[in-house]
Structure 1
Amino acid sequence: MDKHKLLANYVNNHPEAIGKVVDFDAANDRLFQLDLTAANKELTVELINNTGLFSQWVNDKLRDNNCHYGIGGYMEHRTIYAFSSHFDTEDEPRRLHLGVDIWGNAGTTIYAPLDGIVHSYQNNNHLGDYGPTIILQHNLDGLELYSLYGHLSRESLSGLYVGMPISRDQQIATLGDIEENGNWPPHLHFQLMFDMEGKKGDYPGVCKFSEKEIWQRNIPDPGLILRFPDAVNAGAVSA
């Protein structure tokens, strides 16, 4: 059976095995859908090239819409990566986002949503990169799954070791601030992979749009694990 279907079946058949990634109370919290595509005309060159302004823009959206977290990004074709050469290639630049972003305050607690072990970790310390990153490995009734957590605090990497057991709902990290998270407004990049392809401490979170189908085979929708309710969407004008 296709691995995507196996994952969906596991989630449907074992809802008790799926925990949280952040503290989200569906009864009282709301999510705001952040649009980071060219359709959002608020994303000016000045805004995306100034992390302080970008952070303020995100904070204003969450406050004005009474939302605790922002959400979005899976297979989203983004314009914001133009600010860093990290996403440029000799031919087609990388602009397609492969994970889900959860935007919140620096210091926000991050949890493991599944039992597993620490696969790898490192500080991907480049402008626009993940910054401190943790990758967990999970075995779901024989299905291997990996989860990646990017843009963390440096402190999150302390005390880890490869093979370290991790339990569902165990705190594994906190969100990093601008100075340590790859120069981004504080947020979590959460991504799932079936195969790490030999990589450790890092895995692409952005790809060329022309290669979408190739990457999508290995990268399922994180929404299967997050199980968030529908987000508030104020339309493209206000993202």
Structure 2
Amino acid sequence: MSRQSDIDFEAFSFAEVVKLPPQYHVFDLTSGAMDMPPNFTYGVGKYNEHRPDIYSSPLFAGERDYHIGIDIFAPQHTEIHNFYDGVVYQRAYNGEALDYGYTLVLKYELNNTPLYALFGHLSKASYHNNPPGKIVAKGEQFAWMGPPEENGGWPAHLHLQLCYECPSRCDMPGVVNKADLEAALRLYPDPQKVLGKLY
């Protein structure tokens, strides 16, 4: 497994993944309310946030509720750009209720160290346009946020999750239980390392 110290994220310049407006809503999902305020169109959901009332599907076994990615909320079909030069490593449709829906995992090399990023809750077109092995340049628009019927049944948003280990399939646990949280935070670093500070 790669270690966080292997990658000096501050030595790199990353492109914007979603073009956010100057003002957007920062959600507090510790209370379970995933409603966008009427005066906002864009929003951000936090990394390492305890969300006890969000994950009601049996998929989460009633106890996985610590979020270890970043959510960016925007209108469906909002464009998604690559933060750095990478290659499509895996693609899948994770179709269970409240799963990721259409999903991509991209692979990067930073300081000669592999880094993987999961882009979840995408559109069907994002899947079909990105076969494994496709090279995606830094800043290139390559995917779109999916509507609920394609993204697992969620309000339109991107779930971005980083990982130091090569995933065995096109999936990562976007939420973990409390017992696994410490290890998960080491394996899945804060996506703000590539997104920049969002909150």
Q: TM-score, normalised by structure 1?
A: 0.77
Counterpart Cα distance in 1 of 2:184 and 2:70: 15
Q: Which residue of structure 2 lines up, in the alignment, with residue 13 of structure 1?
A: 11
Q: Which residue of structure 2 lines up, in the alignment, with residue 214 of structure 1?
A: 183
Q: Which residue of structure 2 lines up, in the alignment, with residue 111 of structure 1?
A: 81
Counterpart Cα distance in 2 of 1:86 and 1:220: 23
Q: What are the ranges of 5 or more consecutive residues in structure 1 without an aligned counterpart?
A: 44-53, 231-239
Q: List per-residue Cα deviations over 1:67-114 (Å, max 9, x = no partner).
A: 44211221111023342111016xxx1111110000111010001101
Identity %: 32
Q: What are the ranges of 5 or more consecutive residues in structure 2 without an aligned counterpart?
A: none
Q: Which residue of structure 2 lines up, in the alignment, with residue 174 of structure 1?
A: 144
8 Å CA contact retained: 1:137, 1:145? yes
Q: Which residue of structure 2 lines up, in the alignment, with residue 69 of structure 1?
A: 42
1:3 CA drift (Å): 2.7
Larger radius of gyration: 1
Secondary structure of 2:122's aligned partner: coil
Secondary structure of 2:77's aligned partner: coil
Aligned residue pair count? 198
Structure 1 or 2: more helix by fraction: 1
Q: List per-residue Cα deviations over 1:170-204 (Å, max 9, x = no partner).
A: 1111011111110101110000000034x221111
1:32 pairs with 2:10: no
Corresponding residue to 1:184 among 154, 175, 184: 154
Change in CA separation of 1:105 and 1:133 when aligned onto 2, cut-off 3 Å: same
**Root-mean-square deviation (CA), in Å?**
1.8
